[in-house]
Copies of this chain bind each other. A is one copy, B any other.
Amino acid sequence: MSEIKILIVEDEQKVARFIKLGLEDHDYHVDVAFDGKIGLLFFQQTDYDLILLDVNIPEINGFDLCKRIRTVNQKIPILILTALGLTDHIVEGFESGADDYLVKPFEFRELLVRIKALLKRTLNQDQGTKLLTADDLILDRDAKTVKRGNKQIELTAKEFLLLEYLLLNKGKVISRVDIAEKIWEINFDTGTNVIDVYVSFLRKKIDYGFESKLIHTVVGMGYTIREE
């Protein structure tokens, strides 16, 4: 089970520390950014599962940061955490794209259950399914095994991750940028062609010698797994 990563953007060190420690107690991995600019930077560099935002923070305020994040990512849960408790503020928070809004002072227990509620949905989507399939290919996410028809296929770690990611998005075309970020954790253009090479590796193992091909190239857009 991979770690759940949370980003806190909060300038009051005491509060940030309090939340960080509390969340780490519950096995979340927590990063703290002390202003909006750094928060945005962290967000761009790491694939967080949830973001906690204070509003009154230096550089970029919480509402604006929330909007900025939403232009890029509509899915990631954002919880705004602030002393601004007027209905006007709350409405503004939600209209900036937040998923929840909690007014300080708050009890840690409440924050925790609200975070859990937010994570529940995004996590259940991916996880839960143990077996991923496409045509006569079966990938077992627990056992880390792959079979095509009745032939066992040996994949290396990276090959497995790549295939798993493509299967999770079966039918969708996935860009190289997405793959680079998810599987190689590369967030900028390095000019590498590892992805192409690995797709080539995968094809050799799961498509070569079978009449129906699963991995398809969509020129200029990316790769996709499609059953035909």
Copies of this chain in the oligomer:
2
Give min CB distance, A59 to chain B, whole Å.
Answer: 26
A157 contacts B by Cβ under 8 Å: yes
Which residues of chain A from 195 to 228 have any CB-CB distance to chain B below 8 Å in the complex? 218-221, 224, 226
The interface residues of chain B lying within 8 Å CB-to-CB of A171 are 142-143
Taken residue by residue from 157 to 193, chain A's Cβ proximity to chain B (1 for < 8 Å, 0 otherwise) reads as: 1101000000000011100000000000000000000
| Closest B residue by C-beta to A144 | B173
> Do A121 and B94 touch (CB < 8 A)?
no
> Do B224 and A143 touch (CB < 8 A)?
yes
> Do A220 and B99 touch (CB < 8 A)?
no
The interface residues of chain B lying within 8 Å CB-to-CB of A142 are 171-173
A-B contact pairs, 5 of them (CB 8 A): A91-B109, A142-B173, A144-B173, A144-B218, A144-B221
